[in-house]
């Protein structure tokens, strides 16, 4: 019998005395695409980081293609043919796309010098195989491209290693449909070449498109492992949360009551990257912004949040024009933001959960002179419960939270700011299906309490179902405005 690509037996690991994986068995067959799913903090990333040599198991056996010689670094994993796309991207921001793609393999040389021309051509080839050679310039720096593009570069980097086992940890979290479809075609091709793939995702529907088997983790233990053909989305969710849970909700739309003034108005706002954008949001409304990568949806938020300088145009909050030149002006005007990149823009990783949530509202937490630990404690504990954050307590450093739980902290920060206008840039990025619905419900609650919500998502399905009104952005300008019910496909057409 041929050995499996990966076999894991009775794997255990704990951090600070807290068990994170307990008695995990996991088998990845050769040529198989294996979905790994579970709620935020279930231990998915931890499991694959062990397989990739980043974390070191406490006990258990791991064999790769029948060999159980231990390895303890990503280099060791690579020698066994394993490559991984990390959930928290591992790219070096000041380096170029090309340099990043070839960072973890021996460089192309010409004599003693680097052969940059060859590296460039190879990078273009790999990007072309992902169908994005026209969107991503191999010479641009990582820090200058969007998160979605970075994710594609990360995938290109793993492919450049020509692995026999490819691990993808939430590779599609910030990709839009067309890019996801390309990725799926790449996966099909790799499958055809007999490459084994571990695919972690919170988009359970995708599993049924591309995966052969699925393993569900709950609180660090395997609760289900079977061929995809023998299960369905409801069973998966049921196993993930350990009980009944919804998989989708039909949101009720709210029409602005007649005579009510808009809470947020933009009049002909122009910056370096957007042109003449006008829109309004009424209290109680959730307004979506649909656009492709580079359409200016994030830049619109940057303008509103005082990050990009406004060249012309007015921003009016609650009937009063506001001068916003910095995020602190925006917060003072009652505008809060969930930024697109949680680790770079949303969190101080070496701060505790509590300190992170406190940051925008320090003024409100002051006692006579010193900060009041009591006030912040109560507030933070409330949000931990409200958003179902999996953390040891409010003092745990966010660096050690799972990706989805970090995202929840960013959302909590925004909600706790008591702003009247919430700018949400992919707020449920990396959040599991159950918590996601919960967060959407909370956003709806906030809207119902008279706040104005602007919502950006790379998922058009989510926009179509969730928003009361959707503005279409193209090349930095508003090209349309949809108030009736639309479908995902119609939206897709409109943004092209």
Residues 457-486 that bind other proteins (CB under 8 A): none
For 127-163, b/e burial (b = at least 16 CB within 10 A) is: beebbbbebbbbeeebeebbbbbbbbbbbbbbbbbeb
Q: How many angstroms separate the Cα of 5 from the Cα of each of 27, 28, 51, 54, 413?
A: 8, 6, 11, 19, 42
Q: Closest CB to other proteins among 215 and 420?
A: 420
Q: Which does 42 bind (CB under 5 to 8 A by kind): Mg ion, other proteins, ligand ATP, none?
A: ligand ATP
346 lines the binding site for ligand ATP (CB under 6 A) = no
38 lines the binding site for ligand ATP (CB under 6 A) = yes
328 lines the binding site for other proteins (CB under 8 A) = yes
Q: Closest CB to other proteins among 44 and 57?
A: 57
Q: Which does 43 bind (CB under 5 to 8 A by kind): Mg ion, other proteins, ligand ATP, none?
A: ligand ATP
CB atoms closer than 10 angstroms to residue 165: 22
174 lines the binding site for ligand ATP (CB under 6 A) = no
> What CA–CA distance (Å, rounded) separates 306 from 323?
9
> What CA–CA distance (Å, rounded) separates 405 from 384?
10
**What is the smallest separation between the CB atom of 22 and ligand ATP, expressed in angstroms?**
11
**What is the smallest separation between the CB atom of 355 and other proteins, expressed in angstroms?**
6
Q: Closest CB to other proteins among 365 and 442?
A: 365
**What is the smallest separation between the CB atom of 60 and ligand ATP, expressed in angstroms?**
15
Radius of gyration (Cα) for the chain, nearest Å? Answer: 23
**What is the smallest separation between the CB atom of 1 and other proteins, expressed in angstroms?**
42
**Cβ 249 vs Cβ 260: under 8 Å:** no
> What CA–CA distance (Å, rounded) separates 3 from 66?
5
User: Site for other proteins (CB under 8 A): how many residues?
Assistant: 35
Comparing CA positions, the residue from 201, 91, 211 lying closest to residue 152 is 91
Write the CB contacts of 408 (distance below 8 Å, at least 6 apart in sequence). 40, 387, 388, 389, 431, 435, 439
Q: Closest CB to ligand ATP among 262 and 404?
A: 404
> What CA–CA distance (Å, rounded) separates 7 from 241?
26
Q: How many angstroms separate the Cα of 168 from the Cα of each of 52, 173, 340, 483?
A: 11, 11, 20, 37
Q: Closest CB to ligand ATP among 169 and 425?
A: 169
**What is the smallest separation between the CB atom of 145 and other proteins, expressed in angstroms?**
16
Of these, 5, 8, 11, 20, which contacts ligand ATP (CB under 6 A)? 20
> What CA–CA distance (Å, rounded) separates 199 from 218?
17
User: Site for ligand ATP (CB under 6 A): how many residues?
Assistant: 20
Q: Closest CB to Mg ion among 163 and 404?
A: 404
317 lines the binding site for other proteins (CB under 8 A) = no
Annotate each residue in 411-450 with x if it binds other proteins (CB under 8 A) or - if it does not, as one string.
--x-------------------------------------
Q: Give the rounded distance of the alpha carbon of 71 from its chain centre.
A: 30
- SS3 for 16? coil
Question: Look-up: residue for tokens 């002006």?
Answer: 329
**What is the smallest separation between the CB atom of 389 and Mg ion, expressed in angstroms?**
14
337 lines the binding site for other proteins (CB under 8 A) = yes
370 lines the binding site for other proteins (CB under 8 A) = yes
> What CA–CA distance (Å, rounded) separates 347 from 353?
9
Comparing CA positions, the residue from 68, 54, 71 lying closest to residue 15 is 54
168 lines the binding site for ligand ATP (CB under 6 A) = no
> What CA–CA distance (Å, rounded) separates 187 from 196?
10
Q: How many angstroms separate the Cα of 330 from the Cα of each of 194, 220, 419?
A: 52, 41, 9
Annotate each residue in 272-311 with x if it binds other proteins (CB under 8 A) or - if it does not, as one string.
---------------------------------x-x----
Of these, 44, 57, 213, 302, which contacts ligand ATP (CB under 6 A)? 44
- Chain residues binding other proteins by CB under 8 A are 305, 307, 326-328, 330-332, 337, 339, 344-352, 354-355, 358-360, 362-363, 365-366, 369-371, 373, 376, 395, 413
- Chain residues binding ligand ATP by CB under 6 A are 15-16, 20, 38, 40-46, 87, 390, 400-405, 432
């Amino acid at each position: 019998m041929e050995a499996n690509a990966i076999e894991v037996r009775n794997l255990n690991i704990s951090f600070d005395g807290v068990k994170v994986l307990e008695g995990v068995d996991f088998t990845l067959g050769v040529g198989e695409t294996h979905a790994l799913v579970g709620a935020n903090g279930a231990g998915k990333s931890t499991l694959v980081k062990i397989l990739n040599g980043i974390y070191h198991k406490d006990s258990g056996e791991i064999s790769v293609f029948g060999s159980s010689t231990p390895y303890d670094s990503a280099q060791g994993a690579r020698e066994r043919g394993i490559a991984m796309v990390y959930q928290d991207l591992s790219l070096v921001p000041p380096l170029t796309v090309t340099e990043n793609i070839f960072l973890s393999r021996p460089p192309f040389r010409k004599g003693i010098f680097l052969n940059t021309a060859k590296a460039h051509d190879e990078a273009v080839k790999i990007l072309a195989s992902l169908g994005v050679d026209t969107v991503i310039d191999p010479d641009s720096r990582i820090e200058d491209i969007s998160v979605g593009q970075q994710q594609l570069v990360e995938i290109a980097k793993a492919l450049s290693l020509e692995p026999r086992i490819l691990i993808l940890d939430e590779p599609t979290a910030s990709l839009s449909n067309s890019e996801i479809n390309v990725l799926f075609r790449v996966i099909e091709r790799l499958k055809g070449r007999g490459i084994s793939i571990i695919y972690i995702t919170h988009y359970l529907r995708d599993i049924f498109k591309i995966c052969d088997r699925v393993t569900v983790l709950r609180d660090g233990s395997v609760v289900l492992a079977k061929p995809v053909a023998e299960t369905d989305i409801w069973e998966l969710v049921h196993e993930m949360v350990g009980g009944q849970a919804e998989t989708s909700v039909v949101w009720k739309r709210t029409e602005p009551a007649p005579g009510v003034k808009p809470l947020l108005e933009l009049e002909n706002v122009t910056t370096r990257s957007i042109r003449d954008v006008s829109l309004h949001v009424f209290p109680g409304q959730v307004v979506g912004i649909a656009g492709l990568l580079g359409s200016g949806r994030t830049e619109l938020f940057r303008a509103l949040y005082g990050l990009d300088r406004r060249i012309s145009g007015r921003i009016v909050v609650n009937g009063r024009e506001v001068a916003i030149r910095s995020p602190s002006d925006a917060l003072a005007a009652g505008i809060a933001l969930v930024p697109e990149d949680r680790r770079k823009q949303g969190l101080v990783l070496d701060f505790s959960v509590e300190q992170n949530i406190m940051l925008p509202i320090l003024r409100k937490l002051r006692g006579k002179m010193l900060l009041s630990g009591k006030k912040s404690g109560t507030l933070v504990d409330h949000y931990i419960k409200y958003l179902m954050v999996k953390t040891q307590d409010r003092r745990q450093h966010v660096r050690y939270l799972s990706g989805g739980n970090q995202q929840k902290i960013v959302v909590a920060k925004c909600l706790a700011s008591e702003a009247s206008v919430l700018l949400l840039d992919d707020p449920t990025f990396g959040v599991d299906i159950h918590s996601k619905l919960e967060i959407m419900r909370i956003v709806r609650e906030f809207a119902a309490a008279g706040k104005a919500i602007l919502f950006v998502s790379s998922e058009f399905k989510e926009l179509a179902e969730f928003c009361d009104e959707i503005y279409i952005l193209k090349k930095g300008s508003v090209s349309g405005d949809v108030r009736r019910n639309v479908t995902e496909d119609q939206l897709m057409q409109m943004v092209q």
